[in-house]
């Protein structure tokens, strides 16, 4: 059986086949959860917010005009709901996240002298969650959800150049972590 | 000659530089161990990020979510039925009171008027009886009884309506803890 497109599923749900919405849920739940987990730094909150996002999206399906891809529209809901959750947790998100000019340094839990090449992947995976929320969202959308910079800028409501700056800063921060390890010498 | 910043290295990695700029970066990389180390570390980050693993939600996430959606869709219908039944009950009660008043009034006027000679007389005695009956109903103990009945109905309806709202909110809340 061929894979139904998002638009075909949405049309079916709009016609009253509510159960078809589960196809959309299964298609996006893990990717959206990965993004939320890295933004909220907490599994429980991520799953709670994810459920809220799917309910919001379901209620707003009639407002989805199809001008952008469903995934972009849905991730915008996910991103904005995560920001709302963060601000409700009074984590000073405005000051921590509003500017792409923010400077941040990452600290690894690993002893940099003991890191082997095969540990790098684990180190990077774990360190993404330590990036500022917006930066980890950019990384997840770009690498895991395979979204273009244009789509990410649409989701986040930022200019393309700002998204690129955030992507580059995040990569640089992770790179600096690697350069602090004994592996740096092997990279010449 | 462009200055090789971190930004330029990222753009070089993403293939966003012009051919001339890319050649300049290549030449700089050829001459600097430090730059080569930075670029290689960046490449390592890029390749590892490209293989990040997606996290998995709990197994019954979809099932619970769909239950929430169905519950949410049926909750407004239940509320509509509840309101309709309360309105129907009140209307029925009003009709019963009205019917009882009319029948009581008719029996009162027919016994009082006996064999009335004209239609006009019966109409006038009917209206008098109606006023009398209404006066009895809405004064003194009659008014208290009707007021009490209506207050009771409003209180009971309010309680059930509030409970229904609370239940529907709770069911949505429970669903958030998947």
pLDDT tens figures, B58-115: 999 999 999 988 887 666 666 777 778 878 888 888 888 788 777 776 776 666 655 5
Question: Which range has the worst mean pLDDT, A27-36, A102-111, B5-14, B21-30?
Answer: A102-111
Q: Which two tokens stand for residue B163?
A: 């409970």
Is A26 in contact with B40 (Cβ distance < 8 A)?
A: no
Taking the Cβ of residue A143 and every Cβ of chain B, the question of whether any pair is shorter than 8 Å is answered with: yes
DSSP H or E run through A17: none
Taking the Cβ of residue A184 and every Cβ of chain B, the question of whether any pair is shorter than 8 Å is answered with: yes
pLDDT tens figures, B112-170: 655 555 666 766 776 777 777 777 777 777 778 778 888 888 888 888 778 777 766 65
Is B37 in contact with A50 (Cβ distance < 8 A)?
A: no
Over the Cα atoms of chain B, what is R_g?
Answer: 42
Chain B residues touching A175 at Cβ < 8 A = 38, 41-42, 44-45
List the one residue out of A48, A49, A4 whose CA is nearest residue A23.
Answer: A4
Shortest CA gap A161–chain B (Å): 12
| Inter-axis angle of helices A6-14 and A70-88, nearest 10 | 80
Is A187 in contact with B70 (Cβ distance < 8 A)?
A: no
Using pLDDT thresholds of 50, 70 and 90, give the confidence band for residue B178. very low
Is B178 in contact with A178 (Cβ distance < 8 A)?
A: no
Provide the pLDDT for residue B175: 40
């Amino acid at each position: 059986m061929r894979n139904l497109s998002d638009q075909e599923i949405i049309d079916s749900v709009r016609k009253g086949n509510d159960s078809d919405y589960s196809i959309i849920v299964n298609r996006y739940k893990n990717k959206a959860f990965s993004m939320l987990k890295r933004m909220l730094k907490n599994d429980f909150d991520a799953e709670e917010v994810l459920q809220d996002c799917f309910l919001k999206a379901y209620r707003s399906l009639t407002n989805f005009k199809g001008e952008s891809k469903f995934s972009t529209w849905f991730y915008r809901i996910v991103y904005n709901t995560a920001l709302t959750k963060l601000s409700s947790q009074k984590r000073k998100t405005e000051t921590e996240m509003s500017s792409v000019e923010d400077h941040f340094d990452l600290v690894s839990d690993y002893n940099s002298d003991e890191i082997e090449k095969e540990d790098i992947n684990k180190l990077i995976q774990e360190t993404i969650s330590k990036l500022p929320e917006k930066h980890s969202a950019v990384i997840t959308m770009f690498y895991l959800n395979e979204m273009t910079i244009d789509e990410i800028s649409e989701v986040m409501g930022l200019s393309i150049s700002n998204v690129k700056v955030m992507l580059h800063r995040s990569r640089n921060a992770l790179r600096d972590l690697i350069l602090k390890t004994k592996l740096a010498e092997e990279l010449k | 000659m462009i200055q090789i910043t971190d930004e330029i290295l990222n753009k070089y990695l993403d293939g966003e530089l012009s051919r001339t700029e890319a050649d300049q970066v290549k030449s700089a990389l050829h001459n600097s161990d430090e730059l080569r180390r930075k670029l290689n570390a960046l490449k390592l980050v890029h390749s590892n990020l490209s293989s990040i693993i997606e996290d998995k939600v709990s197994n019954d996430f979809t099932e619970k979510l769909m239950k929430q959606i169905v519950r949410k869709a049926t909750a407004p219908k239940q509320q509509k039925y509840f309101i309709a039944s309360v309105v129907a009950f009140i209307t029925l009660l009003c009709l019963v009171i009205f019917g009882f008043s009319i029948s009581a009034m008719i029996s009162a006027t027919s016994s009082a008027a006996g064999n009335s000679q004209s239609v006009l007389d019966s109409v006038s005695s009917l209206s008098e009886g109606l006023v009398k009956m209404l006066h009895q109903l809405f004064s003194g103990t009659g008014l208290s009884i009707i007021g009490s009945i209506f207050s009771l109905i409003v209180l009971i309806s309010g309680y059930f309506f509030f409970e229904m709202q609370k239940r529907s909110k709770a069911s949505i809340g429970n669903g958030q803890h998947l």
